[in-house]
């Protein structure tokens, strides 16, 4: 058991980090919306799915003749990240406008918004399976439930130190995720918009009195969370080169778990939670077998929450100091 | 249509204790009547690629029969379970209570069969599955259940025998996705390999997951690996093959009938599926190597569906033929059809259609196929097929 972990330690670490990076980026959307609205946006997994479909469709339309590597791969990835950010960010704003804002205006309970979120999630999944994916990728309608592919990445090893081998796509996933995290952290900490988000998270009523436009802040929060999911989607499309209508389901649960593990409402917590969860899953799989991946992950979550109910970093968005 | 369904109601009346509406009474005899057969399987889900061919085969058999203007016509109703047991059970109730089918071709997969077959047994409605291969299905003492092809015990032993004999493997890594069919098949392969003195390592993947890198790492950690066997369906094997090859694993990969579909290379991408060897209790024989009937069938199938016969096409045809023969012989109630099936002995496309008392087919060989490019070609019977080119 333990010797398996020792044997596979370095590959498991690399894979855990590249898996965790995507969890972390998606977790940001959960954590930001929760911080501002106290709402678990269960449709966020579909926001991610929309990003993957947009990114994959872009690759298909451009028509990559030979697999890309090096600078052209990075360039393509940047393009996909922009496409993903626009698609996912836009979808998130639209989702807020249609599914949550009317409820908020009428003072509905948070439970109503939660049901609305679940409804929106199922609606988007089926809409994509039955209409969008078949139309975009010219599969039969039944084919909308199948994974769609576009193969465009040439995989090469960029770092090789003994057992420690890092492939280009895995490296790009981790680097890309960390860059986005740092950028977001700076936006929230330093800009006027970030101040508004923090103020709203801390005390919405007082924020209004201080002249903060809550609706604008909520829209911006959804847009930023969605954009982060869009970047995650571009990275996902590079790493796995496929998507399906329900691609967000398992990943969404894991990202939400990462957000809770790191401390929900806490941006840096999402980063920590994502990487910790990714590593635990890979180490757990190496030790006990891949079928134990989810069991190990959730056992660790329960243990952490028993001793630190607010998650690893605990401190939430509203108390964040700059 | 309305007339046909009234006729149907009266035809089933004797068997229906719940007391369906008393339609107009007919003398039978001269007027043509219609009975309903069902086909159940994943016709629109993730693994529909291996269920649509048997559905086409069954459709073809029924159409050919109806074209002869028989006194009792057959209407084939399709039930798309997407391979999901919960959907399949709801559809089975609909088939029995609302549509009042007299027999079912399917369910296609083993997982859904486990849920649906007890319901059919209770109804009772006879069934012939063209593709469910889990061993335990034949061990329940079901009187109304049949299948047209050899089970996973035969299949697993056949493929494991091929791995040990033709590939001369000493160390094999076995992976499955924990589904009913996959696990059963993988376990037979593991047991058979071990009994032949082969070292076996195992791992399990999550069919819903995307990232199989922990499994790839485990495979890479095994020294002198001769073969990887995957028990499961092609959608997941495609994903796994891609990640194995990208992870630098060059070992030969083998699988069972759940992976025998041209979507496998599509999902794996590039040339990742080249060299994969897939075993199957089905005989896909478009050139008629084993019997001229296979070639005739393939030609007619191609003319009708504009595509070559694929996995279980002929088995679907043979399953429907079993029911058609029963109806031809004048049996139109589930009870009588089932009685007929217990004694049936008719030459089908793939084999002689004949069932043992437990519903298992009388015979069955395992065939192996080699993937290359976007398609696969037969290597032969697993008993004596040569090793694939390196």
d(CA B174, CA B197): 15
Q: Report the chain B residue with the minimal C-alpha distance to residue A17.
A: B213
- Subunit contact A251:B217, Cβ cutoff 8 A: no
User: How many CB atoms sit inside 10 A of residue B280's CB?
Assistant: 30
Which residue of A152, A291, A295 to mutate against B (max B Cβ within 10 Å)? A291
Q: Where are the domains of chain B?
A: 2-150+289-353, 153-280+367-381
Q: Which of B4-18, B43-57, B87-101 has the lowest mean pLDDT?
A: B4-18
The DSSP line for A271-291 is: HHHHHHHHHHHHHHHHHH-GG
Question: What does the pLDDT look like over A105-142, one tens digit per residue?
Answer: 998 988 899 999 999 999 999 999 999 999 999 887 66
CA–CA min distance A82, chain B (Å): 23
Residue B20: which pLDDT band, with cuts at 50, 70 and 90? very low
Q: Indicate if the pLDDT at residue B147 is higher than 90.
A: yes
Going by CATH, does the domain composed of B153-280+367-381 fall within 3.40.50.2300?
Answer: yes
Q: Report the chain B residue with the minimal C-alpha distance to residue A166.
A: B247
Candidates A145, A149, A289; nearest CB to B44: A145
Residue B249: which pLDDT band, with cuts at 50, 70 and 90? very high
Q: Which of A41-55, B220-234, B351-365 has the lowest mean pLDDT?
A: B351-365
Average pLDDT over all residues of chain B: 89
pTM tops 0.95, yes or no: no
A-B Cβ pairs (cutoff 8 Å, strict): 92
Candidates B43, B214, B242; nearest CB to A293: B214
Cα dihedral sign, B17-B22-B28-B32:
negative
CA–CA min distance A163, chain B (Å): 11
Buried b / exposed e along A52-87 (16+ C-beta atoms within 10 A): bbbbbbbbbeeeeeeebeeeebbebbeebbbbbbeb
Question: What does the pLDDT look like over B75-122, one tens digit per residue?
Answer: 999 999 998 999 999 999 999 999 999 999 999 999 999 999 999 999
Is the minimum CB–CB distance between B50 and chain A shorter than 8 Å? no
User: How many CB atoms sit inside 10 A of residue B98's CB?
Assistant: 8
Residue B23: which pLDDT band, with cuts at 50, 70 and 90? very low
Q: What is the mean pLDDT of residues A297-321?
A: 78
Q: Where are the domains of chain A?
A: 2-319
Q: What is the mean pLDDT of residues A151-171?
A: 90
User: How many CB atoms sit inside 10 A of residue A289's CB?
Assistant: 17
Residues 220-279 of A with CB under 8 A from B: 236, 240-242, 244, 246-247, 249-251
Candidates B202, B203, B210; nearest CB to A247: B210
Residue B143, SS3 per DSSP = coil
Question: What does the pLDDT look like over A41-61, one tens digit per residue?
Answer: 999 999 999 999 999 999 999
Q: What is the mean pLDDT of residues B260-288?
A: 90
User: How many CB atoms sit inside 10 A of residue A138's CB?
Assistant: 10
Tell me which DSSP letter residue B137 carries.
G
d(CA B297, CA B314): 8
Cα dihedral sign, B143-B348-B333-B21:
positive
The DSSP line for A75-142 is: HHHHHHHHHHHHHHHHHHHHHIIIIIHHHHHTT--HHHHHHHHHHHHHHHHHHIIIIIHHHHHT--TG
Half-sphere exposure of A8 (CA within 13 A, CB side): 28
Q: Report the chain B residue with the minimal C-alpha distance to residue A249.
A: B208
Which residue of B176, B214, B235 to mutate against A (max A Cβ within 10 Å)? B214
Candidates B178, B203, B266; nearest CB to A149: B266
d(CA B54, CA B73): 20
Is the minimum CB–CB distance between A291 and chain B shorter than 8 Å? yes
Residue B31: which pLDDT band, with cuts at 50, 70 and 90? low
Question: What does the pLDDT look like over A231-287, one tens digit per residue?
Answer: 999 999 999 999 999 999 999 999 999 999 999 888 899 999 999 999 999 999 999
- Subunit contact A242:B205, Cβ cutoff 8 A: no
- Subunit contact B213:A19, Cβ cutoff 8 A: yes
The architecture CATH gives domain B2-150+289-353: 3-Layer(aba) Sandwich (3.40)
pLDDT of residue A65: 79
Question: Percentage of chain B with pLDDT > 70?
Answer: 92
Tell me which DSSP letter residue A68 carries.
B
Query: Would you state the structure tokens that stand for residue A233, as one six-digit string?
Result: 């989607």
Contacts of A66 in chain B (CB under 8 A): none
pLDDT of residue B24: 42
d(CA A239, CA A150): 11
pLDDT of residue B339: 95
The DSSP line for A28-67 is: HHHHHHHHHHS---TTHHHHHHHHHHHHHHHHHHHT-SS-
Pick the CATH number of A2-319 from 1.10.12, 1.10.8, 1.10.3470, 3.40.390: 1.10.3470
Q: Indicate if the pLDDT at residue B64 is higher than 90.
A: yes
d(CA B55, CA B80): 11
Q: Are B2-150+289-353 and B153-280+367-381 the same fold in CATH? A: yes
pLDDT of residue B114: 94
Residues 256-275 of B with CB under 8 A from A: 263, 266-267, 269-270
Is the minimum CB–CB distance between B221 and chain A shorter than 8 Å? yes
Q: Which of A162-166, B27-31, B211-215 has the lowest mean pLDDT?
A: B27-31
CA–CA min distance A35, chain B (Å): 29
Q: Indicate if the pLDDT at residue B7 is higher than 50.
A: no
Question: What does the pLDDT look like over A169-225, one tens digit per residue?
Answer: 999 999 999 999 999 999 999 999 999 999 998 888 999 999 999 999 999 999 999
Q: Report the chain B residue with the minimal C-alpha distance to residue A280.
A: B214
Is the minimum CB–CB distance between B217 and chain A shorter than 8 Å? yes
Phi, psi of B170 (to 5 degrees): -110, -30
- Subunit contact B214:A291, Cβ cutoff 8 A: no
Which residue of A244, A290, A294, A295 to mutate against B (max B Cβ within 10 Å)? A290
Candidates B44, B45, B267; nearest CB to A149: B267
pLDDT of residue A22: 96
Q: Indicate if the pLDDT at residue B1 is higher than 90.
A: no
Q: Indicate if the pLDDT at residue B196 is higher than 90.
A: yes
* Of B345, B181, B51, B23, nearest in space to A142 by CA: B51
């Amino acid at each position: 058991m333990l010797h398996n972990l020792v044997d596979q330690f370095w590959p498991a670490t690399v894979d855990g980090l590249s898996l965790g990076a995507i969890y972390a980026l998606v977790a940001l959307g959960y954590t930001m919306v929760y911080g501002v609205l106290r709402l678990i946006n269960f449709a966020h997994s579909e926001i991610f799915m929309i990003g993957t479909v947009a990114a994959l469709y872009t690759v298909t339309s451009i028509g990559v003749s030979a697999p890309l590597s090096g600078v052209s791969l990075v360039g393509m990835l940047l393009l996909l990240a922009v496409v993903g950010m626009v698609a996912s960010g836009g979808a998130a704003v639209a989702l807020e406008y249609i599914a949550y804002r009317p409820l908020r205006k009428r003072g509905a309970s948070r439970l109503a918004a939660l049901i609305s979120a679940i409804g929106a999630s199922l609606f988007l999944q089926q809409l994509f399976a039955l209409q969008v994916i078949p139309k975009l990728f010219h599969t039969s309608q039944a084919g909308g439930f199948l994974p769609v592919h576009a193969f465009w990445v040439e995989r090469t090893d960029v770092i090789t130190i003994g057992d420690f081998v890092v492939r280009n796509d895995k490296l790009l996933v981790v680097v890309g995720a960390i860059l986005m995290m740092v950028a977001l952290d700076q936006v929230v900490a330093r800009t006027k918009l970030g101040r508004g988000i923090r103020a709203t998270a801390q005390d919405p009523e007082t924020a209004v009195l201080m002249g903060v436009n809550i609706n604008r802040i909520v829209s911006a929060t959804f847009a930023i969370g969605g954009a982060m999911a869009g970047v995650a989607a571009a990275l996902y499309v590079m790493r796995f080169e496929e998507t399906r209508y329900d691609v967000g389901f398992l990943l969404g649960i894991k990202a939400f778990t990462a957000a809770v593990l790191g401390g929900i409402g806490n941006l840096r917590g999402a980063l920590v939670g994502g990487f910790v969860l990714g590593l635990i899953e890979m180490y757990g799989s190496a030790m006990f077998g891949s079928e134990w991946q989810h069991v190990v992950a959730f056992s660790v979550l329960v243990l952490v929450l028993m001793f630190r109910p607010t998650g690893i970093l605990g401190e939430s968005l509203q108390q964040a100091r700059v | 249509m309305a007339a046909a369904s009234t006729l149907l109601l009266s035809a089933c009346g004797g068997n229906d204790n719940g007391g369906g509406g008393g339609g107009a009474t007919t003398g039978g005899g001269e007027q043509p009547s219609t009975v309903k057969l069902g086909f159940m399987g994943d016709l629109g889900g993730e693994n529909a690629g291996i269920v649509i061919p048997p559905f086409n085969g069954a459709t073809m058999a029924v159409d050919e029969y109806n074209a002869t203007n028989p006194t009792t016509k057959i209407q084939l109703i399709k039930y798309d379970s997407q391979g999901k047991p919960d959907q399949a059970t709801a559809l089975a109730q609909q088939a029995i209570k609302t549509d009042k089918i007299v027999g079912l071709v399917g369910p296609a997969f083993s997982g859904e069969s486990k849920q649906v077959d007890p319901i059919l047994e209770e109804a009772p409605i006879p069934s012939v599955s063209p593709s469910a291969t889990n061993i335990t299905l034949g061990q329940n003492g079901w009187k109304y259940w049949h299948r047209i092809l050899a089970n996973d015990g035969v299949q697993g032993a056949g493929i494991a025998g091929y791995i040990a004999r033709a590939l001369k493997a000493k160390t094999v890594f076995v992976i499955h996705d924990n589904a009913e069919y996959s696990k059963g098949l993988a376990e037979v392969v593991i047991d058979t390999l071990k009994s032949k003195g082969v070292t076996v390592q195992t791992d399990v993947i999550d069919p819903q997951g995307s990232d199989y890198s922990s499994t790839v790492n485990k495979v890479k950690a095994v020294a002198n690996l001769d073969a990887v066997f995957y028990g499961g369906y092609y959608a997941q094997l495609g994903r796994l093959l891609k990640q194995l090859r990208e992870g630098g694993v060059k070992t030969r990969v083998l699988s069972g009938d759940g992976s025998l579909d041209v979507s496998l290379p599509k999902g794996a991408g590039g040339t990742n599926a080249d060299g994969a060897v897939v075993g199957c209790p089905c005989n896909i024989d478009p050139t008629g190597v084993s019997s001229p009937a296979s070639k005739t069938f393939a030609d007619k199938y191609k003319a009708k569906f504009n595509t070559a016969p694929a996995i279980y096409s002929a088995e679907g045809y043979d399953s429907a033929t079993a029911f058609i023969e029963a109806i031809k012989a004048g049996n139109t109630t589930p009870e009588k059809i089932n009685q007929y099936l217990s004694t049936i002995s008719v030459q089908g496309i793939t084999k002689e259609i004949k069932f043992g008392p437990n519903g298992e087919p009388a015979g069955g060989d395992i065939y192996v196929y080699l993937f290359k490019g976007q398609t696969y070609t037969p290597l032969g019977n697993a008993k004596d097929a040569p090793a694939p080119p390196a």
